[in-house]
Amino acid sequence: MGKVARIRGRRAGGSRAKRAARSVATVSEAVSKGQPGGLYKPLSDADIQRIHGAALHLLENVGIGNPIPEILHYALPAGCLLGEDQRLRFPRSLVEDLIAQSATSYVMHAPDPAHSLEISGQRVYFATSGEAVSIFDYDSRSYRPSKLVDLYDAARLADTLDHIHNFGQPFIATEYSQELYLHNINIAYAELAGTRKPLSLGIAEVEHIDSLINFYDTYLGKEGGFLERPFCIFGGCPIVSPLRFARENAEVLVKVAELGLTADIAVAPQAGATSPAALAGTLAQCFAETLACLAVVNMVRPGSAIDFGMWPFVSDLRTGSFSGGSGEEALLMAATAQLCNYYGLISSVASGMTDSKCMDAQAGYEKGITTTAAALAGGNLISSYPGILGSLIGQSFEGMVIDNDMIGSIQRLLRGVEVNDETLSLEVIEQAVHGVGHYLNHPQTLDVMQSEFLYPTVADRRTPGAWEAEGREDIVALAHEKVKNVLSSHYPVYIDTAADARLREKFPIRLDKKDMQAGNGRW
């Protein structure tokens, strides 16, 4: 009973402190966005070099199939070779040169510059992502198709969540999924109306890019304004694994590079299905595929920035289905972060893609393990999928709130321990030992209360007694209260009346104004 007695003793100490009624605001001085990662290195340097060598071998010898004319236009003069099998082969030295030319940093602009992110080194940021197709409904515990208004709500919610740094489109507006132009314009509108954080958007058709730039220029009231400070990143999946270009998304890739924008890509072969079941083989193939995209944008425009989205996915080989929450997925993503950082690439990794269908303990630990591994390995842009469920099938608003607290904890871990004369506290310790025998009221304790410790917003730290007396809610119930509070009250006016009029005149905006005002009864 030794251990437990000791712990109970400390809880008593806790009560003393409680009586001192130190109530404080829960602000996040303890963590900051863009903290460096990379102290977890799953691969040896030799492993990294072998994977790199295998990827360059594949690019040189197997090449990438379906090279679209837009790519051939740049690639053949640059030194790529088109084989009789219509596969585009990349000489090793060319790829090495293009890696060396590729941008190693960029500023991810936000509608509000205060939210802009400096993407460089091993700085770590967290983003929503996904393009799921459904919402997991709290009351019915079932999945329903996601709508445009849900996206606006998700953006407003993310706007209030400290540890989400980039709002990537988490799901589609299913009611417009067959009308891609209408869909993209309205997604862009809903994102912009809901948050001032940096935005991302999946683009399926290259011709929508000009429309979207026009949309953003109209919002700004300035032609050419968007390209001066592009606060939305356009993304897609330019590869169909194994080792083929995907026509539409590859066209987007070329166009984005031509415009001087950062390309945001996800190359996601699935081990055992579209890449080898051996994890090293999946890394080699996926590295080759993603390097092909890096090569393309840098042949189009040397020095292009690309979010190097090398996203090896994992199959559950019993069924062949994608398993986003597995230990293998955590490992692969951490390995890619390290691999990218080793070569100075801007790493974009995925995490949090739980296989659970609801926000339960499985969702918690799968998200916790995968996101911890990705962050410690130093992924620059972690699509940590706050709120995603069911191997990327659906989004939970409550999950966004819970995952925000989770990411906060991971950010605190990432920050590390500052070791210096002051923090080593030798004098403080001597004072406590020779004085009152504890630290509860020591000035240092109060001083570092907000700087050393991060307090969660919904995670429950009540005593079991209080919890039992006050309703035994799980964290989903607590998060649901927060979702309702935020979404019934946080109706920011990020698109002012004049801009809104300009946009609605020129574009088919379908988000109803009454859904964008408090008191509409939706929450």
Query: Which of positions 56-85 make contact with its own copies (CB under 8 A)?
Result: 57-58, 61-62, 65
Residues 455-494 that bind its own copies (CB under 8 A): 455, 459-464, 467-468, 472, 474-476
Q: How far apart are CA 262 and CA 233, in angstroms?
A: 7
CA–CA gap between residue 474 and residue 358 (Å, rounded): 13
| Least Å from the CB of residue 255 to its own copies | 14
What residues numbered 219-238 form the site for its own copies, per CB under 8 A? 235-237
C-alpha dist (Å) from residue 77 to 67, 103, 253, 472: 14, 21, 18, 67
Residue 258 engages its own copies in binding (rule: CB under 8 A): no
Of residues 407-426, which lie at the interface with its own copies (CB under 8 A)?
Answer: 408-413, 415-420, 422-426
CB of 111 to its own copies, least distance (A): 23
Report the residue from 60, 162, 452, 515 that binds its own copies according to the rule CB under 8 A. Answer: 452
* 233, β-bridge pairs: 200
Q: What angle do CA 325, 453, 459 make, to 5 degrees?
A: 45
Burial of 332 (0-12, 13-18, 19+ CB in 10 A): buried
Tell the smallest beta-carbon distance from residue 63 to its own copies (Å): 9
Q: Per-residue x/- mask for its own copies, residues 177 to 216, rule CB under 8 A?
A: x--x--x------------------xxx------------
Per CB under 8 A, 164 contacts its own copies: no
- 369 scored as a contact of its own copies (CB under 8 A): yes
Considering only the stretches 90-98, 220-228, 295-303, 314-322, report the one whose residues sit in contact with its own copies under the rule CB under 8 A: 314-322
Q: Are 234 and 199 in contact (CB under 8 A)?
A: no
32 touches its own copies (CB under 8 A): no
The rounded distance, in Å, linking the Cα atoms of 108 and 288 is 25
Q: Please state, in angstroms and rounded to a whole number, the distance separating the CA atoms of residues 341 and 344.
A: 5
Residues in a beta bridge with 235: 202, 264
Residue with tokens 């039992």: 468
Of 185, 335, 381, 495, the one binding its own copies (CB under 8 A) is 335
Site string for its own copies, 1-30 (x = CB under 8 A): xxxxxxx--xx-xxxxxx---xxx------
Taking the C-alpha atoms of residue 21 and residue 100, their distance in angstroms, rounded to an integer, is 57
Hey, which residues between 380 and 409 contact its own copies (CB under 8 A)?
390-394, 399, 402-403, 405-406, 408-409
Considering the complex, state which of residue 197 and residue 357 has its C-beta at the smaller distance from its own copies: 357
Pair 192, 495: CB distance under 8 Å: yes
Instruction: Give the CA-trace dihedral at 304, 309, 310, 315, to 10 degrees.
Output: -160
CB of 313 to its own copies, least distance (A): 7
R_g of the chain, CA atoms, integer Å? 24
List the one residue from 33, 43, 150, 384 that touches its own copies (CB under 8 A). Answer: 43
Q: How far is the CB of 142 from its own copies (least distance, A)?
A: 6
> Judged by CB, which is closer to its own copies: 143, or 494?
143
Closest distance between its own copies and the C-beta of residue 397, in Å? 13
Q: Taking CB under 8 A as the rule, does residue 50 contact its own copies?
A: yes
Q: Which of 70, 131, 153, 159 binds its own copies (CB under 8 A)?
A: 131
Q: State how far the Cα of 94 lies from the Cα of 97, in Å rounded to an integer.
A: 5
Q: How far apart are CA 110 and CA 192, in angstroms?
A: 10
